[in-house]
Structure 1
Amino acid sequence: MNPIAKILLDMKYVVSGSDIKENVYTLRLKDLGATIYYGHNESNIRLADLVVISSAIKKDNVEYQAAMEKHIPIIKRAELLAMIMEEYKKKIAISGTHGKTTVTSFISHYLSSIGEEPTYVIGSPIKNVNLASQYGKKDFFVAEADESDRSFLFLKPNILVITNIEEEHLDQFENLEDILDTFSKFIERVPEEDSVLIVNGDNDNIKRLNYHGRKVITYGLENDNTVQATNIQYDKHKISYDVTINKKKVAEQISLNIPGIYNVENSLVVFAVAHYFKLSLSQVSKSFLNFDGAMRRFHKIGEADGIVVYDDYAHHPTEIKCTLAAAKSYGKRVIAIFQPHRYSRFSAFYHRFEEALSEADFIIITDVYAAGEDNVSGLTSASLSKLFPANKVRYVQKVSDISQIAVGLIQKNDLVITLGAGDITHVSKEIYQHLKSIFEDENKNS
């Protein structure tokens, strides 16, 4: 909600909002002129002409009920996003199970670098500018399109990116077929003329979609893609590669600031966008030179005496596996600190989490961040921890206890990474501060 609220403030709307407690985002919105309430109360919406709700708000919410009684229009976040998007000529929506935030950040950063002044709305801030949204005054609107509650079906982009598709959000979808059907419905929302689908041509599930006759640009590592990464070279965590479009080389020896072969794939979307709009292809790779990704996506928290601490939003087995592979490429011992997110996901992918986490050298697992769900399956983080060798894992029930325990397990030159979509992100900062103070004290005493 925060990124859209910022856009509305930039558009000179009067904005107010409610949150459970004060945080960096509410403070920033307050500084920009929004009225912020902490806690939910029916009086909070007394001056509202429109109430916008996130997917977390239930119908028994006191403000929702008050808006209903006062006949104040209530819409979902994605409906508002669609209303704003409709005002722009070049509407780009980035969808997919994984990689949406990074790809949206890549595109927004590139368009900004060539002076296109895009309006963008992203799920997490771009590190370079520490902004998750920006109000531009030209033709481009770039938005991350969330499939988790099907609300992306409100959007009507003329450029639709699909990064990948696999089973996820099984609390909302019956199965993979239901997910594929929903993405096919999203494709139908794309106008037949002056539009394009930019899709990952390496993803088997995307290949199963009905494109409904829309123009398609594919990207990926395989030879039959429109946009392809070629001549891929690995030097520890650094990857260099060339890019071809329709088999013609358009860039060579590109090296990203963010690790992982998955980010090579993500970067290809920018070339596809530039190609479709006939924008500068040479500027694409130049824009990568000062692109450091999005917050909570392999986000470096800090380094203390050779020990590096990262934080990542990965909460699906595929994301965890890719993130840990990138971490391992640094040649360090990797300690993964994992907080499962939602019992529905945890039970659906229980043994896949076991496989994904096996990439780490040592694992700390804490209790599931329930996000309001009940544990129907009976599976727990404690039971998951028992699937690993005893010398490779530590179960820590409380998040508040992790940092102190982790510091006692960390060795010189380790790479430590927190993984999860809940409140585990705070642990990475606590660990770094703890390590920093230890080594500062040692240096003072030496």
Structure 2
Amino acid sequence: MGVGGIGMSAFARLLRARGHFVSGCDEAETELTAQLQQEGVAVASGHSAEHVTLGAFGPQFGPVDVLVASEAVPKTHPELAAARSAGIEVRPRMALLGELLRAGPSVGVIGTHGKTTTTSMIAVAMQGAGLDPSAFVGGLVPEFGSNARVGEGPFVAEVDESDRAFAELGCETAVFTNAEDDHVGGDQATYWNTVEEQHAGFARFVAGSDRVLLCADWPGLEDLCVGARERLSYGQAQDADYRAHDLRPDAEGTAFTVAFRGEVLGEARVSLPGIHNVLNALAALAVTHLYGGEFARAAAALAAFRGPGRRWQRVGELNGALIVDDYAHNATKVAAAVQAAHQTGRRVRVVFQPHRYLRTQQSWPRLADALMAADEVLLLDIAAASEPPIEGIHATLISERMSAQGHAGVHYLPDRAEVVRRLRETAQDSDIIVTMGAGDVWKLSRELAGEAG
């Protein structure tokens, strides 16, 4: 169910590659569902109980044996009800991921930020080093032309904490990037009640894994890893097992030196700006080293890596201005993206779309503070993501706080056509324009760059 989603579509590709017949359905046909059909995955548009019980994809297939569904799908959904009535197994998506992680050598990437980029980098570095990984990624990886890769080596997976069942899983090597308070405080299936409960979930995943590679630069992670059987760390910290030092940033990325317990492994480069991407790349090099991959080949692959879709994605140009799209949607990610934009040496112009009413209610002051470093901010309305509005919660909370703190370049512009007109009239070759947020703000970057769609 929901086969057009970024995670479910990756499952479909992995399972089909392992010899299973895979079918799926989603509310709407998209470019992703069209790709799945071209790859041999039968996709039906819309939802119907018949998809499960009557072999809706052709009489030669018959009814399904297993229905895979996200925990976000209501238990009263007609397809779930039909499966239960027919005695068909309903398998939660996290249970399926757990099976894949337990099937052999595996790497699970957890944390509040950076999972998609770090997972992509690990898979790309392993591939470059000849380790032939399989991969499950929450974004499209250009090197694979997909959000999944099938190989004979270790299985590398992004493990999303928005599904609370993740806490009961484990893997061979848990890569723990950071822990903050995202997906907390709501009564939805994808939210935790408290940040303490969520962080306890991280700790359970770590304790259920054979070893953890944690970011030494993120405060408090060690406390969540006390149950680990084996602990290794990465970061710029002096006592990190895998350490990045002598950072040499430029407009396109950062070169740095990598050492393991004091012994230099070699020189590396990440072709994405921002300190956070140095750490993501360091994690990838550390994992590849742990699995016996050749450092120089892994580093070369990472130097050529331009990032997964919607993670500092270079979209094009407008009047010489560089246009980048980024998924950043909470304060830490926004601040990191703004810092990365400044590293280019250009004037930083951000088009920001707040994501979800609850998240905005919880964090609008922090979002405003994170955007203060941008030279200009054009603020769209909140992307609801199916949430009902919350009285008094509006995008202007962010713009008003920024203005009160002295920012002269923040403008609330709910009319997207006005955003496009303004930028087309004023963009210069010394600018970088970053469309930012987890909603559909990415469409504006394509429009500005003159792409269709």
Same fold (TM over 0.5): yes
Report 1:187-202 matches (<5 A). 187-190=206-209, 195-202=210-217
Q: What is the deviation of 1:398? A: 4.8
Which stretches in structure 2 are left out of the alignment for 5+ residues? 1-7, 54-62
Q: What is the deviation of 1:152? A: 1.7
Do 1:237 and 1:260's aligned partners in 2 also have CA atoms closer than 8 Å? no
2:179 to 165, 176, 180: 165
Q: What is the deviation of 1:143? A: 0.4
Question: What is the match of residue 256 of structure 2?
Answer: 241
Mapped partners of 2:420, 2:86: distance in 1: 48
Do 1:198 and 1:218's aligned partners in 2 also have CA atoms closer than 8 Å? yes
Mapped partners of 2:321, 2:225: distance in 1: 48
Question: Matched residues, percent identical?
Answer: 29
Do 2:130 and 2:293's aligned partners in 1 also have CA atoms closer than 8 Å? no
1:7/1:398 CA distance change after superposition, 3 Å: farther
Do 1:197 and 1:217's aligned partners in 2 also have CA atoms closer than 8 Å? yes
Please list the CA deviations of residues 376-406 of structure 1 after superposition, one character each: whole Å capped at 9, or x if unmatched: 3521013322223384122232556643444
The aligned length equals 428
Q: What is the deviation of 1:260? A: 0.9
Q: What is the deviation of 1:84? A: 2.4
1:294 to 308, 328, 337: 308
1:370 to 384, 398, 416: 384
- Which has the higher mean CA deviation after the structures are superposed, 200-209 or 317-326? 200-209
Output the TM-score relative to the length of structure 1: 0.91
Do 1:78 and 1:154's aligned partners in 2 also have CA atoms closer than 8 Å? no
Do 2:117 and 2:308's aligned partners in 1 also have CA atoms closer than 8 Å? yes
Do 2:122 and 2:288's aligned partners in 1 also have CA atoms closer than 8 Å? no
Please list the CA deviations of residues 215-255 of structure 1 after superposition, one character each: whole Å capped at 9, or x if unmatched: 11100011010011111223345422111110111113x32
Q: What is the deviation of 1:259? A: 1.1
Please list the CA deviations of residues 64-87 of structure 1 after superposition, one character each: whole Å capped at 9, or x if unmatched: 222232232112211112222322
2:412 to 395, 398, 421: 395
- Which has the higher mean CA deviation after the structures are superposed, 37-46 or 353-362? 37-46
Mapped partners of 1:403, 1:219: distance in 2: 42
Mapped partners of 1:269, 1:391: distance in 2: 39
1:5 to 7, 12, 16: 12
SS in 1 for 2:450: helix
Amino acid at match of 1:422: G
Amino acid at match of 2:101: M
Mapped partners of 1:308, 1:221: distance in 2: 30
Do 2:319 and 2:427's aligned partners in 1 also have CA atoms closer than 8 Å? no
Q: What is the deviation of 1:293? A: 1.6
Output the TM-score relative to the length of structure 2: 0.89
Mapped partners of 2:250, 2:357: distance in 1: 39
Report 1:216-231 matches (<5 A). 216-231=231-246
2:226 aligned with 1:211: yes
Question: What is the match of residue 186 of structure 1?
Answer: 205
1:275 to 263, 285, 289: 289
2:23 aligned with 1:16: yes
Amino acid at match of 2:29: E
1:213/1:163 CA distance change after superposition, 3 Å: closer
Question: What is the match of residue 26 of structure 1?
Answer: 33
- Which has the higher mean CA deviation after the structures are superposed, 294-303 or 39-48? 39-48
2:126 aligned with 1:111: yes
Report 1:264-413 matches (<5 A). 264-376=278-390, 378-389=392-403, 391-399=408-416, 402-413=419-430
Do 2:249 and 2:343's aligned partners in 1 also have CA atoms closer than 8 Å? no
Question: What is the match of residue 68 of structure 1?
Answer: 84
- Which has the higher mean CA deviation after the structures are superposed, 402-411 or 300-309? 402-411
Do 1:347 and 1:379's aligned partners in 2 also have CA atoms closer than 8 Å? yes
Question: What is the match of residue 449 of structure 2?
Answer: 432
Amino acid at match of 2:233: T
Mapped partners of 1:406, 1:74: distance in 2: 49
2:275 aligned with 1:258: no
SS in 1 for 2:119: helix
1:238/1:276 CA distance change after superposition, 3 Å: closer
Please list the CA deviations of residues 25-69 of structure 1 after superposition, one character each: whole Å capped at 9, or x if unmatched: 101100011111222122222222111112442223222222232
Q: What is the deviation of 1:125? A: 1.4
Amino acid at match of 1:83: E
Mapped partners of 2:312, 2:446: distance in 1: 14
Please list the CA deviations of residues 82-102 of structure 1 after superposition, one character each: whole Å capped at 9, or x if unmatched: 2223222x1110111111111
Do 2:254 and 2:272's aligned partners in 1 also have CA atoms closer than 8 Å? no
1:242/1:151 CA distance change after superposition, 3 Å: same
Mapped partners of 2:139, 2:413: distance in 1: 28
Mapped partners of 2:86, 2:420: distance in 1: 48
Q: What is the deviation of 1:258? A: 1.2
Q: CA RMSD in A?
A: 2.0
Which stretches in structure 1 are left out of the alignment for 5+ residues? 437-446
Do 1:219 and 1:226's aligned partners in 2 also have CA atoms closer than 8 Å? yes
Do 1:302 and 1:308's aligned partners in 2 also have CA atoms closer than 8 Å? yes
Do 2:273 and 2:344's aligned partners in 1 also have CA atoms closer than 8 Å? no
1:188/1:207 CA distance change after superposition, 3 Å: closer
Please list the CA deviations of residues 270-294 of structure 1 after superposition, one character each: whole Å capped at 9, or x if unmatched: 2321332233223221222321121
